[in-house]
Structure 1
Amino acid sequence: MTDIRRILITTVLALVVGSLAAQEKPDTVYTFRFVTDKFYVPFNGNDTELARLEQCVERYRQEILAGNIRVHVDGWCTAGESEADNLAMAKVRSNRVKSELIVRRQLTEACFITRNHSGSGDYVTVRISVPEEEAVARKDEGRQTGQESADTQQPVEEPRETEESRFVAEQIRADSMVVVHPEADVPAETTGTDAEGTSGTDSYTLSLRANLLRWATLTPDLGLEWRITPSWGILVNGSWTSWSWNDKERRYALWEVMPEVRRYMGREKRGYLGAMYKAGGFNYKFSATGKQGDLMGGGICGGYQLRLNKALSLDFNVAVGCLHADYEKYTVLDGVRVRRGTESKNWWGPVNAGVTLVWKIY
């Protein structure tokens, strides 16, 4: 009876330990979540995943640096306006995760194989392929341990699943959408130094603007721009001035309000086309006859933003279209304005120009 019990215990323990060891996979996947265009360690278990990943990298660090084990990084994004937008943000995310391993574990870009994908989720996976022979050796070691324990009739501690044996197969989506700032049409697969670049997109949400050309003509000008998305912006500029000289024989007064809608284009979202509208009033008297009235009109605008630093840019822009002005002519006699008739004019051509200093608030 004792022999039969011993044989049964040996068989059961060998099957259990062998089954657990056989479940160990040579590939281990670590998943990192992204939210609001940012990656930060405590969010949704990123700190735990990073700690697990660091332990695995440290265990095989020499093999990874020697090129015997490759670290596969896959970036995913679904929140962009186009496939190119998704690929660009996926590349930024992949580089963000790789930078943690480069800084923390002194890996190099050559250690990684990077692929970026459009669709499926908003996350990055890191996969480390352990050589097959090492996985087989672990399996044999587990079986041998189970056999020895059974032979000595000692209680066998159930093998614990190691951190690097857990396989995260489910594709995890971010809890909230991200604001995408695409860098370029990024290829779906990059390796080595091709994956080193990071996003150069000129992106912001709110900016304060000042048209330097207007200020040069002693016409204070200020405006605000709100980027609804990286590709679309709404802005409003306003100007006002009032000057007189030669005992009020000369006059220069102006006010204008100019709303505008822009569509930013290009790889870094710096060039743009848009539509503008202008309304205001004026009072010019540079000679014997003055003109005072109202104007309104609009047109098509375009330009380019030149980045100076992280906070400042120069916006070179011009608009062409039509302006309509209704005004009256006058002269000044003994300090009294005397009306000399009314006129209306339509102007086709350039209706606005600017070299605007842009300060990115956030």
Structure 2
Amino acid sequence: MSKKILFFTLFLWLTAVIVPVFAQEKADTTYTFRFVPQKDMFYVPWSDNDKELAQLLECVRRNKDSILGGSLPLYVDGYCNSLDSEKENLRMAAIRSNRVKSELIVRGGIKEECFITRNHAADGDFVIVRLTVPAPEASAVESEGLSKAEEERLAAERAEQERKATERKAEEARHAAEKAEADRPVKEQAARQAEQHQEITATPLESQSSAPYHFAPRANLLRWATLTPDLGLEWRISPSWGIAVNGSWTSWTWQDNARRYALWEVAPEVRWYLGETKRGYLGAMFKAGQFNYKLSATGKQGDLMGGGITGGYQLRLSDALSLDFNVAVGCLHADYEQYETIGGVRVRAGKETKNWWGPVNAGVTLVWKLF
């Protein structure tokens, strides 16, 4: 009988001591967010960061009043050891801590004052957030009989448990960072091979812009087809802007000077190249020159001046050659004299002035990209 009484007394004592211990244990409130070595961006879906963030936000939501009231701070520890110097590692750790805090401020509705931040140039590439959530208060009956020394012992045990949990999380984060670092050369090699494959399979017209040159001689083949030699030069100021100038000259007579075709023109132009490949363009051109036409009984001789809006497209033929298709629409003003030829002598027959609205220039121009 005395043994039963002793066993029952011991059972009650254990109940009074152990039950409060379990009642006062804290929940796991340590959260680890991993970062890519030498990078400061907070990739939420990477390495289970999304799960950790969701759990942390739920914990913040449950304890938001205490957090905003200042009685429940969030301890943020940033770690970095993948850079060359301690100063760089501390700076990177601070940036990473701020990235995580920004997520909590925006998505959790808390403030900067709610955090206690420390940064470390050691251990790995991660950020640890620790929230010391108080355990539910034991009832008055459960707390009776606990001495001050016993309470201090329990508090020390809880602190030790938290320390071990933090170290365990840090160790897991360090192993994950080491694995990511070991896998990085393989991933980088795969990315380089993908880029090389993309460059190889790209067609020449797709892979090369029409604007890698600075100076390019030009020849308008339409002018040459009408026995009017035409040469020019384009200066590509930048991939998007160019200045071109073309000049034409010809002088022909036949039927004992009864027929005449003579002309000289200079046409400068400013161009704005469009799109990613910089092949199409818009621009403005100016034209000035003199002419002498006598294709019938009456000839015309005088000056011309005008300009207009240009548009065109360069078709790449090879690395050095392109065809430039262009047309200009605008106005030409001409002052000229009419004349007849009598006995080999030109006789003036009148003077006229005319304005022409419409196409003022056209070309199929061979472009040689010199350099």
Could you tell me the TM-score, scaled by structure 1's length?
0.49
Larger Rg belongs to: 2
Higher relative contact order (CA closer than 8 Å, sequence separation 6+): 1
Higher-helix-fraction structure: 2
